[in-house]
Amino acid sequence: MRELRIQAVGAQGDGIAEGSFVPLTLPGELITAEMAGNRGELVEVLEPSPDRVLPPCPHFGVCGGCAFQHWDAKPYLEWKREQIQFQLAREGLETEVLPTFASSPPASRRRVALHARGGKGGARLGFKERRSWNLVKIEECPVTHPKLVAAFPALARLAAPFLEHPKSAPTLHVTLTATGLDIDITGVEAKSGGLSADARVRAAMIAGEHDFARVTMAGEMIYMARQPMVKLGPAVVSLPAGSFLQAVPQAEKAMVEFAVQAAQGASRIVDLFSGVGTFTFRLAEIGGVYAADSSAPAIAALKGAVGTATGLKAITAEARDLTRRPVLSTELNKVDVAVLDPPRAGAFEQHVEIAKSKVARVVGVSCNPATFARDAKILVDAGFRLERVLPVDQFLWSPHIELVGVFSR
């Protein structure tokens, strides 16, 4: 047992004290912790921070989904802003980092990943414990949309047929769409022959009883009553199975509007790592858009949605691996604005090509401040100026940070 004074909160959300890390603690607090190496578990808060608040969820502290329910909103949001400033400073970059946009109110998350395990009386469904493979059975979640929470018992029933093999550890990726719940299930043992015909029939019957829109297994159709649909700007998109979608509509709206504002006046725009068109359709209200993404189903969905909207400039779309085959500087020389929303690993190769091009403005969207800063350095070294960055609190009470940055030559 050690007594520690917490000095700061680190990038993963743990309190830092004398080179040790203790979760669920806040700056300035005096605590006792059980230590194993440099990692500890909180035993008691001897002197609480004035910013400590009562967590709204009974699962907090055990469930690994949230890290900051005990922290008052103002310092929590400022911490996210400071994390971006820190990563930029590591690359020698300075800019205006705006106050964190609190875009994700409680009960707003439309996409969750629920883990299933076998148990007496059927499947147990929930989230993983902090730093553990153990499962916390979740019956309420203040982050998640009430329609998803209400479906937890039905989703537990659906999970049961996917547990027929002892090595299966299903994860239900559930998305709330305009036409109902879309569920893609991964983690089912495949080497032994995959899911049996009987289990598939039982899963389809359960899906029908609970009026789910669609159930797929790693993209393979198990059941569909209705095509899952989402509205992205002026367009209505048919979601491919297992496709990426921003987790919170309010956060999506904030990021898209910030990008659209930065792109005003452009006649030729590229939307790279476009997915199903989160930014594409709003950008096409300004100028012609070339959209590219490595997912062929996402690009097919984007193309299929073009006809659902009116008043758009021309949209062309291509399935293209932008890591192995980035859009070249010569292809970008007639482009006014480039918008990028890469995965967590960033888009090093694509930024190198943009840096060599004549593109006048870049809008970078990121869920990883470290790789954003690394890629931003490429542009700044090539003569761009990082004008401003908007932090977006999409993942409420978590250490994950979304941001949008605007660059101009």
pLDDT digits (tens, 9 = 90+) for 337-361: 999 999 999 999 999 999 999 999 9
Residue count of the chain: 409
In this predicted structure, what is the pLDDT of residue 194? 83
The CATH number of the domain holding residue 320 is 3.40.50.150
Query: 235 in a domain, yes or no?
Result: no
Please give the mean pLDDT across all residues of the chain. Answer: 96
- Which of 180, 197, 229 is the last residue before a domain boundary? 229
Model pTM? 0.94
Express each pLDDT in 56-69 by its tens digit.
999 999 999 999 99
Residue 389, classed as helix, strand or coil, is strand
- Report, as an integer, the average pLDDT of 360-364: 98
Does residue 237 contact residue 301 with C-beta atoms inside 8 Å? yes
Q: Which helix (H) or strand (E) holds 351?
A: helix 348-356
Q: Answer whether residue 192 shows pLDDT above 80.
A: no
Largest CA distance in the chain: 66
pLDDT tier, 157 (very low <50, low <70, confident <90, very high otherwise): very high
Active-site position among 57, 63, 66, 367: 367
How do strand 220-224 and strand 214-217 relate by DSSP bridges?
A: antiparallel
In this predicted structure, what is the pLDDT of residue 191? 81
Residue 246, classed as helix, strand or coil, is coil
The CATH number of the domain holding residue 17 is 2.40.50.140
In this predicted structure, what is the pLDDT of residue 244? 92
Q: Answer whether residue 308 shows pLDDT above 90.
A: yes
* Residue 36, domain extent: 2-52
Number of domains in the chain: 3
Express each pLDDT in 205-253 by its tens digit.
999 999 999 999 999 999 999 999 999 999 999 999 999 999 999 999 9
The verdict on 264 and 299 lying in the same domain is yes
- Report, as an integer, the average pLDDT of 137-149: 95
The verdict on 165 and 225 lying in the same domain is yes
Query: 67 in a domain, yes or no?
Result: no
In this predicted structure, what is the pLDDT of residue 259? 98
Query: 289 in a domain, yes or no?
Result: yes
In this predicted structure, what is the pLDDT of residue 185? 97
Instruction: Kindly state the DSSP code that residue 71 receives in the 8-state scheme.
Output: B
Clarify whether 367 is annotated catalytic: yes
pLDDT tier, 52 (very low <50, low <70, confident <90, very high otherwise): very high
